[in-house]
A and B are shown apart, each in its own frame.
Chain A
Amino acid sequence: SAVISQKPSRDICQRGTSLTIQCQVDSQVTMMFWYRQQPGQSLTLIATANQGSEATYESGFVIDKFPISRPNLTFSTLTVSNMSPEDSSIYLCSVGGQVPPEQFFGPGTRLTVL
């Protein structure tokens, strides 16, 4: 499986600021996804990062709040904008899910918003 890294691994941010999370994969992948895992909860898909086009957002998530870039097949960024304490979560990058359909996760970014 691909090796996935994320930066930063954790951060503590002030309300109203923005944080950009990077996801780097060691091989080219077609499908990249961004998930959120709030404390004690399961994973919720934020969006599918599409290379060369706008991301596809799930219900409840909007581009203004979570802008995503996907400049090539090995890299993506997720920005959490105008943060509030409710955005405190683990944000996970994930790849795979086509052929074969297995999907793998990066180590995550633990975000705390004060």
Chain B
Amino acid sequence: QKEVEQNSGPLSVPEGAIASLNCTYSDRVSQSFFWYRQYSGKSPELIMSIYSNGDKEDGRFTAQLNKASQYVSLLIRDSQPSDSATYLCAVRGPGNTPLVFGKGTRLSVIA
């Protein structure tokens, strides 16, 4: 059974701080890793993808991947109240295997 684990939160951070979201996965052959943001009542929105070990930065977002530890994280710098949402970690194996989602971490940025 392929599993993706996330802390459900809520994770509360003050405005301007760095929010750190973590995810672990069980399938060692996983190859693609994604972070989605989901606002209440809306569908998931892809915000980051990462495929190789290390860091990938896009604006205020940094995704970090460590395949040896089966760990992927998302850092949000200068957190804003508009970042308050549920963040879903998703992992895919090789080929056309389906995405496996974690349960999501609810982030609350306090003004």
Contacts and interface: CB of A to CB of B under 8 A. Distances in A.
Contact of A101 (B43, B92, B103): B92
Interface string B6-28: 00000000000000000000000
B103 A98 contact: no
Nearest to B97: A97
B43 A97 contact: no
Contact of A105 (B43, B49, B92, B103): B43
Contact of B43 (A31, A33, A45, A108): A108
B108 to A, nearest CB: 16
A103 B88 CA distance: 13
**Chain A interface size range:** 20 to 34
A42 interface: yes
Interface string B36-53: 100000111110010100
B96 to A, nearest CB: 6
Contact of B98 (A41, A42, A48, A104): A48
A107 B39 CA distance: 12
A106 B43 contact: yes
Nearest to B51: A101
Contacts of B98: 33, 45, 48, 58, 97
A64 to B, nearest CB: 21
A41 B92 contact: no
B81 to A, nearest CB: 22
A105 B44 contact: yes
Candidate in B42, B98, B102, B104 with the most chain A CB atoms within 10 angstroms: B98
A107 B42 CA distance: 7
B103 A103 contact: no
Given A33-B98, A42-B103, 10 more contacts: A42-B101, A42-B102, A45-B98, A58-B98, A97-B92, A97-B99, A98-B96, A101-B32, A101-B92, A103-B46
29 contacts: A1-B46, A31-B96, A33-B98, A42-B88, A42-B102, A42-B104, A44-B101, A45-B98, A45-B99, A48-B98, A58-B98, A90-B43, A92-B44, A97-B92, A97-B96, A97-B98, A101-B31, A101-B32, A101-B49, A101-B92, A102-B49, A103-B34, A103-B90, A104-B46, A105-B36, A105-B44, A105-B45, A106-B43, A108-B43
